[in-house]
């Protein structure tokens, strides 16, 4: 099955927002063995919307038109789609009543344009919107199937999963569903990681499982995929592949599943061990603490931390000896060790993590940008320090800071895993 995704929005064309909807929809379609071979983006101009739809009709059976269903004058997607395929619009009376009731409840004045959100393609069926007012549309017409969806991601994604996917399964279910599991890695170069994974799959003689990699911010995501088998067979083979990979590369794999983050895994393990964590940050400027605090439940394991950018702050807040800084400099293993131990003791935490280094672009203490020391102090254990060389030629200042945080999380994860193992 061949599909085309048409994304509507002047803000996308101008680069003001990132089109995450097309990526999400293409991924959902792939699981149904529907291939979105074409993705088109156009602005809100009705003539260009119609032209994009007519072009899609020449090459795709399934056509998705996404965005432009709001109540403003430039929201012309539903009407333009109807005109392009030669059908009229129909009013969903139930949805129109809901819209009016919502405005009444909020004591907000309606405009004549608001009724547009209750129209769909005549001859098809409306797609309910669990989190918004504008409905979508699903229409089989002549040799094509048309799907119209709103643009805001908070409305788009629930509509796809709750309203659209069941219809697609019913109409296009081929029995050739694609099954996949996601593994999340950090600490290995992508090319080396994939060479090792592919060799593991060959050695384990697991037929039909394909491994592909996607570089995400702060991680490498590896997707294991299989098709042309039953769901039970897919589960058995994917599980066997995961186990074989984890046996050899487990230290670099921090999670399995769709929505997994290293920070969430660290917080989870800290909770299981009843450990608390703190940090002292120089070049990362509180980014590690912010990342930890972004995880629900972080308050159970994190009470506070330190941002000690200047040498004086390291001395006053963490108790780092001036002699250490004078002798070794702030970008050193000795300073990282003292910072980690200082924050761990000051906060009476089980784990103290420190970050000191050169974010760039200029060098510091004759150390080039990308030189980072990370300290890990765990109560009752020898303090560890690790050195990162993050090439400034391949990275920005922000990337160096983000990468430092991710590696710090990985080192804590390893420490927690070693306790478990």
Confidence bin at 176 (pLDDT 50/70/90): low
Residues 400 and 296 in one domain: yes
The residues with which 41 forms a beta bridge, in sequence order, are 7
Q: How confident is the model at residue 218 (pLDDT cuts 50, 70, 90)?
A: confident
Question: How many domains, the chain?
Answer: 3
Q: Which two tokens stand for residue 132?
A: 């918004």
pLDDT band, very low/low/confident/very high, at 175 (cuts 50, 70, 90): low
For residue 179, what are the contacts with CB-CB under 8 A and spacing of at least 6?
31, 225, 226, 227, 229, 231, 234, 235, 238
Query: Smallest Cα–Cα separation from 61: which of 160, 124, 140?
Result: 140
Neighbours of 421 (CB within 10 A): 7
Could you give the 3-state DSSP secondary structure of residue 244? helix
The percent of residues above 70 in pLDDT, for the chain, comes to 98
- Mean pLDDT, residues 274-288 taken together: 98
> Which structure tokens are listed for 291?
């990342």
At 421 the pLDDT is 43
| Cα–Cα distance, 182 to 202 (Å, whole number) | 19
Q: What are phi and psi of 136, to 5 degrees?
A: -105, -165
How many angstroms separate the CA atoms of 328 and 344, rounded? 21
**Distance of alpha carbon 180 from the chain centroid:** 17
Sheet holding 219-226, edge to edge: 210-216, 219-226, 179-185, 253-256
Given 172, 190, 212, the domain boundary residue is 172
Would the pLDDT of 59 be above 90? yes
Give yes or no for a contact between 350 and 356, defined as CB atoms under 8 angstroms apart: no
Rounded to 10°, the helix 333-346/311-318 angle is 40
Find all residues with CB under 8 Å of 332, minimum gap 6, and list them: 324, 356, 373
CB atoms near residue 351 (< 10 Å) = 25
My answer on whether 252 and 125 are in the same domain is: no
> Do 194 and 166 fall within a single domain?
no
Q: At residue 391, does pLDDT exceed 90?
A: no
Question: Residue 195's domain is classified under what CATH number?
Answer: 3.30.70.2740
Q: Please give the DSSP secondary-structure letter assigned to residue 106.
A: T
Q: Which of 155, 173, 157 is nearest to 69 (CA)?
A: 155
Q: Residue 262 and residue 82: Cα distance in Å, rounded?
A: 46
In this structure, the answer to whether residues 76 and 138 fall within a common structural domain is: yes
Asked if residue 272 and residue 384 are part of one domain, the reply reads yes
Contacts 24+ apart (CB under 8 A), 326-329: 329/365, 329/367
DSSP three-state, residue 401: helix
229 shares a domain with 168: no
pLDDT bucket at 394, cuts 50 / 70 / 90: low
Residue 60: both structure tokens together: 């795709």
DSSP state string for 274-305 = T--EEEEESTTTTHHHHHHHTSTTGGGTB---
CA angle at 223 for the pair 218 and 229, rounded to the nearest 5°? 170
One domain, residues 21 and 165: yes
- Tell me the C-alpha distance between 326 and 365, whole Å: 11
191: its two tokens: 């090319």
The domain boundary, picked from 238, 256, 274, lies at: 256
Q: Which two tokens stand for residue 211?
A: 């491994």
Residues 68 and 139 in one domain: yes
Does 191 score more than 90 pLDDT? yes
Instruction: Kindly report the CATH number assigned to the domain that includes residue 100.
Output: 3.40.980.10
What residues make up the domain containing 161?
A: 2-172
User: Is pLDDT at 420 greater than 60 in this prediction?
Assistant: no
**How confident is the prediction for the chain on average, in pLDDT?**
94
Strand partners, 147: 64, 138
Tokens 């908070």 sit at which residue? 154
Burial class (CB in 10 A: 0-12, 13-18, 19+), 326: exposed
Q: Are residues 304 and 338 part of one domain?
A: yes
Indicate the residue among 150, 172, 194 that finishes a domain. Answer: 172
Instruction: Dump pLDDT digits (tens) for 64-85.
Output: 999 999 999 999 999 999 999 9
Query: What's this model's pTM, rounded to 2 decimal places?
Result: 0.72
Residue 31: the pLDDT is 83
- Looking at residue 174, its pLDDT comes to 61
279 and 166 part of one domain: no
User: Residue 111 forms beta bridges with which residues?
Assistant: none
Report the alpha-carbon distance of residue 49 to residue 10 in Å, rounded: 11
Distance CA 289, CA 287 (A): 5
Cα dist from 98 to 77, 94, 127, 137, 343, whole Å: 21, 6, 14, 17, 55
Do 224 and 341 fall into the same domain?
no
Whether 278 and 357 share a structural domain: yes
Q: List the CATH number of the domain containing 283.
A: 3.90.950.20
């Amino acid at each position: 099955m061949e599909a085309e995704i048409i994304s509507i929005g002047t803000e996308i064309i101008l680069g003001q927002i990132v089109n995450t909807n097309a990526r999400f929809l293409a991924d959902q379609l792939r699981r149904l063995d529907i291939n979105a071979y074409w993705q088109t983006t156009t602005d809100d101009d009705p003539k260009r919307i119609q032209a994009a739809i007519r072009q899609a009709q020449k090459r795709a059976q399934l056509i998705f038109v996404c965005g432009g269903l709001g109540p403003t004058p430039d929201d012309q997607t539903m009407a333009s789609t109807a005109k392009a395929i030669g059908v009229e619009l129909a009013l969903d009376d139930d949805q129109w009543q809901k819209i009016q009731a919502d405005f009444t409840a909020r004591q907000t004045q309606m405009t004549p344009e608001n009724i547009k959100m209750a129209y769909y393609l005549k001859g098809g069926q409306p797609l309910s919107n669990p989190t918004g007012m504008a409905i979508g549309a699903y229409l089989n017409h002549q040799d094509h199937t048309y799907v119209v969806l709103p643009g805001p991601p908070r409305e788009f994604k629930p509509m796809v999963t709750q309203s659209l996917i069941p219809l697609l399964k019913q109409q296009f279910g081929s029995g050739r569903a694609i099954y996949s599991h996601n593994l999340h890695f950090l600490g290995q170069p992508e090319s080396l990681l994939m060479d090792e994974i592919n060799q593991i799959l060959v050695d384990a003689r697991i037929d039909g499982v394909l491994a592909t990699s996607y570089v995400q911010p702060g991680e490498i995501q590896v997707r294991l995929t299989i098709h042309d088998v039953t769901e039970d067979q897919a589960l058995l083979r994917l599980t066997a592949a995961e186990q074989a990979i984890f046996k050899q590369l487990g230290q670099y794999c921090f999670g399995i599943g769709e929505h997994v983050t290293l920070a969430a895994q660290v917080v989870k393990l800290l909770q299981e061990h009843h450990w608390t964590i703190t940090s002292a940050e120089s070049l990362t400027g509180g980014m590690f603490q912010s990342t930890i605090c972004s995880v629900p439940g972080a308050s159970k394991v994190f009470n506070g931390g330190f941002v000690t950018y200047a040498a004086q702050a390291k001395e006053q807040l963490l108790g780092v000896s001036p002699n250490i800084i004078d002798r070794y400099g702030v970008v050193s293993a000795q300073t990282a060790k003292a910072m980690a131990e200082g924050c761990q003791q000051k906060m009476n935490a089980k784990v103290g993590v420190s970050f000191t280094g050169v974010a760039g672009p200029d060098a510091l203490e004759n150390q080039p940008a990308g030189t980072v020391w990370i300290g890990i102090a765990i109560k009752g254990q020898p303090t560890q320090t690790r050195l990162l060389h993050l090439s400034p030629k391949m990275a920005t200042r922000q990337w160096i800071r983000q990468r430092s945080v991710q590696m710090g999380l990985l080192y804590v994860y390893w420490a927690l895993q070693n306790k478990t193992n």
